[in-house]
Amino acid sequence: MDDPHCDERTLLRTVRRFGLVNRAVSGWGTIYRSRLRPYLRARANDPRARPTRILDVGCGGGDVSLTLARRARADGFAVEVCGIDPDPRCLSIATSRPSEPGVSFRGAYAADLVEAGETFDVVVSNHVLHHLTRDQLHELFAHTDALGAELVLHNDIARSRTAWSLYGVGILPVTPGTFLFTDGLRSIRRSYTVAELQHEVPPGWTVTAPAPFRVLATRQSLTTARA
């Protein structure tokens, strides 16, 4: 999928099925309840607070952006979610979805938003880190800081033989006509363990395992952490 010359029809079928895969393995329900909901609740207690701006970096087909917006709205929190992706093919899937209040999608890199002087309260990503070179990984962390986010949640796969084996069997029913099998196994091989990613994040960040076979790189300001 990282190949810009890969078959477009196969790529689009793959991106359309990301929502199913993410619901099964990405653990955003747990992350929302343990990390994002407490942050949103703390902000809601401030009568001066505007809607919380959430940036989803590398949003792909937009399913995570929509999931977080719906969960927040169901809890009564005012949020504005912006999903960005530099690949127009992926972005076409996100923008073709039925519109949701407070959710938008743009073709951009995080660096573009930094250059434009934009800021966000929360920055998230899903299955992005393992696609990056080491230099690109560090650039993403720097861009996150430059965007002024109080809470950062970079969620990804944790590499393990068990994850590789289970995925290879479990994904088979939804793989026909997609890159899900080969790209998924390749992604697991390229991903980090908790210890490896902890060596890459800047000072003040933490890396945890929020669910089986997952890694979560987090930075939270002291103010919101204590709220």
| List of the chain residues with pLDDT < 50 | 226-227
119 found inside a domain:
yes
213 found inside a domain:
yes
pLDDT score, position 2: 62
pLDDT score, position 226: 46
31 found inside a domain:
yes
79 found inside a domain:
yes
26 found inside a domain:
yes
pLDDT score, position 154: 98
pLDDT score, position 1: 53
1 found inside a domain:
no
pLDDT score, position 178: 83
In order, the DSSP letters of the chain are ---TTS-HHHHHHHHHTHHHHHHHHT-HHHHIIIIIHHHHHHHHT-TT--PEEEEEET-TTSHHHHHHHHHHHHTT--EEEEEE-S-HHHHHHHHHSPP-TTEEEE---HHHHHHTT---SEEEEES-GGGS-HHHHHHHHHHHHHTT-SEEEEEEEBP-HHHHHHHHHHTGGG-TTSSHHHHHHHHHHHSB-HHHHHHHSPTT-EEE-SSTTEEEEEEE-HHHHH-
Q: Whole domain around residue 113: which residue ranges?
A: 8-220
186 found inside a domain:
yes
pTM of the model: 0.90
2 found inside a domain:
no
**Total domains present in the chain:** 1
pLDDT digits (tens, 9 = 90+) for 116-125: 999 999 999 9
CATH assignment of the domain containing 38: 3.40.50.150
